[in-house]
Amino acid sequence: MQDALTKARDCSCWSGDAPYTSYEERRVGMDGDFGEVTVLRCKSCGRFWLKYLMEYEHLSAAGRWFLGSIRPEVARSLKASQAKRVLESLEWYYRGGSAFGGKVIRTSPGQLKYWLTPFPGSSG
Ligand SMILES: [Zn+2]
C-alpha cells in the first residue's frame, strides 16, 4: 500500500495537469447544479481522481474544474450528487480552468461554494 502511494506521488497525474490521454474516463453524470462529474483512472499508476467540471454558458472564460484524488471504493460507488461533498471531504484538491487563468492550483477544502460562484475569468 505504501509502495503504491509512493509510486502515485511520482506519477504525472499527481501534478493535476497530466494530459487527458493519461486517464481512463468514466462519465458519472451531472449534478443538480449542472456540474459534470467524471471519474478518472490514471493509466500509469491506477490512481482514481474525481473531476467536477462547471461551465457557465452566459459567461466567457468562466469554465472551471476541480480534481481530487479518491479511493477506489469511492470511485466505484460515486454518484453525481455526491461529487461536491466528496471533494470537500478531501485534504486538498486541484482547481483549474479558464476562470483561474488556466493555472492549476492546489486548494484546501471548505471553499468550494466560493469557487463555484460564477465569475468570468477576465474580471480578475
Ligand atoms: Zn498516475
How remote is the CA of residue 110 from the centroid of ligand 1, in Å?
25
81 pLDDT band (50/70/90 cuts)?
very high
pLDDT score at 36:
97
pLDDT score at 17:
86
What is the rounded (10 degree) CA torsion for 56, 93, 73, 53? 10
How remote is the CA of residue 45 from the centroid of ligand 1, in Å?
4
Residues 4-44 pLDDT 10s: 556 556 899 999 989 989 999 999 999 999 999 999 999 99
How remote is the CA of residue 119 from the centroid of ligand 1, in Å?
31
Give the full edge-to-edge strand order of the sheet including 48-54.
Answer: 23-30, 36-42, 48-54, 64-70, 93-96, 105-107
Q: Would you list the domain boundaries of the chain?
A: 2-119
How remote is the CA of residue 7 from the centroid of ligand 1, in Å?
8
CA–CA distances in Å: residue 101 to residues 42, 84, 119: 25, 22, 12
How remote is the CA of residue 15 from the centroid of ligand 1, in Å?
9
What is the rounded (10 degree) CA torsion for 80, 18, 12, 1? 10
Residues 33-74 pLDDT 10s: 999 999 999 999 999 999 999 998 888 888 999 999 999 999
Task: List alpha helices for the chain, DSSP H.
Answer: 2-10, 72-77, 83-89, 112-115
